[in-house]
Amino acid sequence: MDLSHRQVERGEPEEVELPETKEIELPALDLTPYIGKKVKIASVTEHKGDYDYYVKIITTPVDVLKSGKDLTASKIIGLVTNHETNEVGWTANGKMGKFLKYMQVKHYKELVGREVVVKTTEPTKEGRVFLTF
């Protein structure tokens, strides 16, 4: 077994040689028709990222794309860790605390089934916009 095979087994990036590459234009999706649409939160999942823990909140499908994939709105909210006590949670005045208060729930696990209104994010540096709430 060579080194590159072992790297792929461990999930490490594989080095490849691509044929000719060039600037391409990806198809654009107009998100305007979805702004203001009411949908329900379908899932809330907890994750550990490179910097700390976070919660990913995803809605029921806003639409089904021509490709057959569901178009959903999502929101990622970071959690905080008290390193002295190893407790993970949120602060009342932080993003999560304010969102929970707005949604009138005490814990993010209670968000499933709650209705939200779809909006878009601010454009990224690359000009990409995403559905959120």
What pLDDT does residue 11 have?
66
Q: What is the mean pLDDT of residues 93-104?
A: 98
Sign, CA torsion 51/57/62/64: positive
Residues 6+ apart with CB under 8 A from 11: none
What pLDDT does residue 1 have?
39
pLDDT confidence bin for 127, thresholds 50/70/90: confident
What pLDDT does residue 126 have?
87
Q: For 4-56, write each residue's pLDDT tens digit.
A: 444 445 567 888 999 999 988 877 899 999 999 999 999 999 999 988 999 99
Q: For 70-89, write each residue's pLDDT tens digit.
A: 999 999 999 999 989 999 99
Q: What is the mean pLDDT of residues 122-130?
A: 91
Measured distance CA(123)–CA(133) in Å, rounded: 15
What pLDDT does residue 25 have?
81
Q: What is the model's pTM? A: 0.78
